[in-house]
């Protein structure tokens, strides 16, 4: 029983699989000016244990933009203002979903974790943490470059992405990534 419990702890908790294009998950890239250049706010989820963009589901009657602002406040403690819609992203393959990604600036507040996250931090965009899911790196670069995508951006999360995500999760649990 101890071995089964240990193995269950190692396997990430994932949402139920949804057939088709999957759910819509609103995401935000929260930027601020740092001493060494632009910095981005990231949250480290409890499971899977990895750094990613703040975000989540739309609540009844909410716009995509309002959901992004609310999710950032809930997950980071920061009040933000949306600067622009970076674009819509369709992630296909494993756990497909669609995401409107907004670029935001901090208005006020202080970083704090919540029940969904074990840590929240700003990182220089030139030194993103090893534990960041790799599909977020080009999105962050596009946000910093001032890009606005007017066509749907497709990111295929195939076997390589699944293995990378599992390696990050296990590396974070083992405390060897930062």
pLDDT digits (tens, 9 = 90+) for 66-105: 999 999 999 999 999 999 999 999 988 877 889 999 999 9
Q: Please confirm, yes or no, whether 119 is among the known catalytic residues.
A: yes
Q: Right CATH number for 19-174 from 3.40.630.30, 2.60.40.10, 1.20.1070.10, 3.90.79.10?
A: 3.90.79.10
Structure tokens at 167: 């390696």
Task: Assess whether pLDDT exceeds 50 at residue 7.
Answer: no
Pick the closest to residue 152 from 86, 103, 63, 93 (CA basis): 86
Model confidence, pTM: 0.85
The Cα angle at residue 37 between residues 31 and 42, in degrees rounded to 5: 35
Catalytic residue (one of 62, 74, 116, 119): 119
């Amino acid at each position: 029983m101890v071995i089964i419990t240990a193995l269950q702890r190692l396997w990430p908790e994932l949402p139920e699989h949804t057939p088709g294009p999957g759910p819509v998950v609103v995401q935000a890239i929260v930027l601020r000016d740092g001493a060494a250049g632009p910095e981005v706010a990231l949250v480290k989820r409890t499971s899977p244990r990895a750094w990613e963009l703040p975000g989540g589901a739309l609540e009844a009657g909410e716009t995509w933009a309002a959901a992004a602002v609310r999710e950032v406040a809930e997950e980071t403690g920061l009040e933000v203002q949306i600067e622009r819609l970076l674009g819509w992203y369709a992630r296909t393959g494993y756990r497909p979903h669609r995401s409107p990604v907004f670029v935001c600036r901090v208005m006020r507040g202080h970083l704090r974790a919540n029940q969904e996250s074990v840590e929240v931090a700003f990182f220089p965009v030139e030194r993103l943490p090893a534990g960041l899911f790799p599909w977020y790196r080009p999105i962050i670069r596009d946000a910093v470059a001032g890009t606005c995508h007017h066509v749907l951006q497709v990111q295929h999360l195939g076997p390589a992405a699944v293995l990378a995500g599992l390696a990050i999760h296990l590396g974070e649990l083992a405390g060897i990534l930062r």
